[in-house]
Amino acid sequence: MTAALPTISALVRDLASGKTTSRQLVEDCLARIADPKGEGARAFVAVHADAARLAADAMDALRKAGAAPSPLAGIPVAVKDLADMKGQVTTAGSTALADRPPAEADAPVVARMRAAGLVVVGRANMVEFAYGGIGTNPHYGTPAAPWDRANRHVPGGSSSGSAVAVADGMAHGALGTDTGGSCRIPAAYCGVTGLKPTARRVPTSHVVPLSTSLDSIGPIARTVDCCALLDGVFAGEPIAAAKPVPLAGLRLLVPTNIVLDAMDPAVARDFEATLERLAAAGAIIVRETFAPFEMVRGVLNKGGLSAAESYAWHKEVFASKRNQYDPRVAMRIAMGETQSAADYIELLARREAAKTAYAEGLADVDAILSPTCPILPPKEADLVKDEDYTRLNMLSLRNTLMINVFDGCSIALPMSAPGAPPTSLMISCGAMADRRMLGIAKSIETALTSRNT
């Protein structure tokens, strides 16, 4: 949990008791966004100050009348610049879509947020078209991760602005998307929590796609419960905190292949300390090879499903405005142009085989544990050369993207103590096991929090 910033559960209690108001929360967030010493100018592509104040006042009036639409009514949040919001142009972190007409309606997930009374303070910055795990954006700037900010480490992507906004108190939760780790990587690099739900649980319509096969929409917030509460809103399910699953007797698989390779010493140290803590709490740590991981490479051939499906969406804009794209993004989208129909069909078949193997591989364990990212957030200055960018981007994405291929659910939560270099634990389960996974994550979070106090 980010030190000194409130959880959503705490804000719910404070709003209900009258200790604070939505207007006060919104003003505090807007002040942090506007702070010239902060990252607000880079974390947001648009700030909706007047609309947020009006919405906050409305939620305060409804709560006073006993008619708040949900317990979360009045809490300020950010929305990644992929999701349509009525009357606004969705730019997806790019300048190439600036001349599009304003959206005629909210995306369904945004409509659910508004119906719950969440107050949107602005549109969060992101990697252009969500195509990257590092978090850089040459058009709107790159917000720095909180750790060692003077040296400007990248925030992780593609939901970069969402994570920085939550970490810095510019919003108390945020909508992110996750195609290969885009909620979990920025959560890891910014020291917060990010949830990748089972994709089918949250509608993705009217959200600019990266990969229609792999896209999912999840929250970035400060704790497991914060994510669980927002996930209920996003999925149109009951808004409820996670129900803890006792650690004693849980079989937690630590794969010995791929996910532990090339770890930074700080990541390795914190991961081993985490496993020791969980074992002491009675969890059974199973260390063995997980064969389905070896199937993922075949699903990434020729740019994988993301290249094919993003090129299909971008084709017309790409033909006329490719020079407006970040060259590092354009290069990957262009890979989809070279795929044949046979290539694409083969990728779909390989993915189905991988999903089946993953489900079977989970039969004897309760969850998979790994570092979210094997490395610490790189410095912006270390990404000047394309070869360095490519290497660090792939390392950032390596562990997370496999769960999207498998159609699983996954959550990233901090392993490190506040102020230490940010390291993150990833907990993954099978499709539609989201609520049980959140319960396991809550118990793990409690164990780690007690270690760090």
Tens of pLDDT, residue by residue over 115-138, are 999 999 999 999 999 999 999 999
Number of domains in the chain: 2
Task: Mark whether 226 and 268 lie in a shared domain.
Answer: no
pLDDT in the model for residue 3: 47
pLDDT bucket at 2, cuts 50 / 70 / 90: very low
Task: Mark whether 99 and 173 lie in a shared domain.
Answer: yes
Let me know if residue 442 belongs to a domain: no
Let me know if residue 444 belongs to a domain: no
pLDDT digits (tens, 9 = 90+) for 323-371: 999 999 999 999 999 999 999 999 999 999 999 999 999 999 999 999 9
pLDDT digits (tens, 9 = 90+) for 252-265: 999 999 999 999 99
Task: Mark whether 210 and 262 lie in a shared domain.
Answer: no
pLDDT digits (tens, 9 = 90+) for 64-105: 999 999 999 999 999 999 999 999 999 999 999 999 999 999
In this prediction, residues 223-242 reach a mean pLDDT of 98
Task: Mark whether 231 and 263 lie in a shared domain.
Answer: no
Let me know if residue 246 belongs to a domain: no
Task: Mark whether 191 and 138 lie in a shared domain.
Answer: yes
Task: Mark whether 178 and 319 lie in a shared domain.
Answer: no
Please give the mean pLDDT across all residues of the chain.
97
Task: Mark whether 284 and 428 lie in a shared domain.
Answer: yes
Domain holding 371, by residue range, is 251-434
Q: List, by residue number, the catalytic residues.
A: 80, 158, 182
pLDDT at 4 over 90: no
Task: Mark whether 202 and 257 lie in a shared domain.
Answer: no
Task: Mark whether 230 and 311 lie in a shared domain.
Answer: no
Using H for helix, E for strand and C for coil, what is the string for the chain?
CCCCCCCHHHHHHHHHHCCCCHHHHHHHHHHHHHCCCCCHHHHEEEECHHHHHHHHHHHHHHHHCCCCCCCCCCCEEEEECCECCCCCCCCCCCCCCCCCCCCCCCCHHHHHHHHCCCEEEEEECCCHHHCCCCCCCCCCCCCCCCCCHHHCECCCCCCHHHHHHHHCCCCCCEEEECCCCCCHHHHHHHCCEEEECCHHHCCCCCECCCCCCCCCEEEEECCHHHHHHHHHHHHCCCCCCCCCCCCCCCEEEEECCCCCCCCCHHHHHHHHHHHHHHHHCCCEEEEECCHHHHHCHHHCHHHHHHHHHHHHHHHHHHHHHHHHCCHHHHHHHHHHHHCCHHHHHHHHHHHHHHHHHHHHHCCCCCEEEEECCCCCCCEHHHHCCHHHHHHHHHHHHHHHHHHHHCCCEEEEEECCCCCCCCCEEEEEECCCCHHHHHHHHHHHHHHHHHHHC
CATH code of the domain containing 257: 3.90.1300.10
In this prediction, residues 305-332 reach a mean pLDDT of 97
pLDDT digits (tens, 9 = 90+) for 20-75: 999 999 999 999 999 999 999 999 999 999 999 999 999 999 999 999 999 999 99
pLDDT bucket at 159, cuts 50 / 70 / 90: very high
Task: Mark whether 215 and 266 lie in a shared domain.
Answer: no
**Boundary of a domain, candidates 204, 235, 266:** 235
pLDDT in the model for residue 1: 39
The pTM score is 0.98
Let me know if residue 394 belongs to a domain: yes
pLDDT in the model for residue 139: 98
Let me know if residue 1 belongs to a domain: no
Let me know if residue 448 belongs to a domain: no
Task: Mark whether 50 and 147 lie in a shared domain.
Answer: yes
Q: What percent of the chain has pLDDT over 70?
A: 99
pLDDT at 452 over 60: no
pLDDT in the model for residue 347: 98
Let me know if residue 300 belongs to a domain: yes
**Boundary of a domain, candidates 194, 209, 235:** 235
pLDDT bucket at 171, cuts 50 / 70 / 90: very high
Task: Mark whether 179 and 275 lie in a shared domain.
Answer: no
Let me know if residue 449 belongs to a domain: no
